[in-house]
């Protein structure tokens, strides 16, 4: 399993970024892709995920009015569109993959979770 993340960078407060994660090596339509983030000194938290098996999704409530997850089935890719970014959104964002029913469990990290490399998002004026 390979998860290739892209799209991080630096942005001013109020700005937008779109993260993308391309997956390979997964059984078609039998997985969920999602995003976690980890700020310095904090635990890694689940942000959002979307199943490629059905339409189920999960998004952390505190970002649900600003972050939107979507998928591109043909490219096995998931996108996280982030708007109105805040300094507290600064973190390393990680792409992850797990079972197709993962959204039902809030996409909590587990023993079967597969990780991509992180991409840094910095929100600062």
> Exposed/middle/buried for 14, CB within 10 Å: 0-12, 13-18, 19+?
exposed
Whether the per-residue pLDDT at 28 is higher than 90: the answer is: no
Whether the per-residue pLDDT at 27 is higher than 90: the answer is: no
At residue 84, the pLDDT reads 98
Query: What would the pLDDT profile of 2-11 be if each residue is shown by its tens digit?
Result: 999 999 999 9
Mean pLDDT of the chain: 95
Write out the E strands in the chain.
2-6, 9-11, 17-24, 32-38, 45-51, 57-59, 67-72, 77-82, 91-98, 114-123
Are 19 and 33 a contacting pair, CB within 8 Å?
no
Query: What would the pLDDT profile of 48-98 be if each residue is shown by its tens digit?
Result: 999 999 889 999 999 999 999 999 988 899 999 999 999 999 999 999 999
């Amino acid at each position: 399993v390979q998860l290739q993340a892209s799209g991080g960078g630096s942005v001013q407060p109020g700005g937008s970024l779109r993260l993308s994660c391309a997956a390979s090596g997964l059984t078609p339509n039998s997985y969920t892709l999602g995003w976690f983030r980890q700020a310095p000194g904090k635990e890694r938290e689940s942000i959002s995920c979307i199943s490629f098996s059905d339409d189920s999704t999960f998004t952390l409530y505190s970002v649900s009015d600003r972050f939107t997850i979507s998928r591109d089935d043909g490219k096995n890719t998931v996108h996280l569109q982030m708007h109105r970014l805040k300094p507290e959104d600064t973190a390393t964002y990680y792409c992850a993959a797990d079972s197709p029913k993962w959204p039902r469990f809030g996409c909590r990290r587990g023993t079967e979770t597969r990780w991509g490399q992180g991409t840094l998002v910095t929100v600062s004026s």
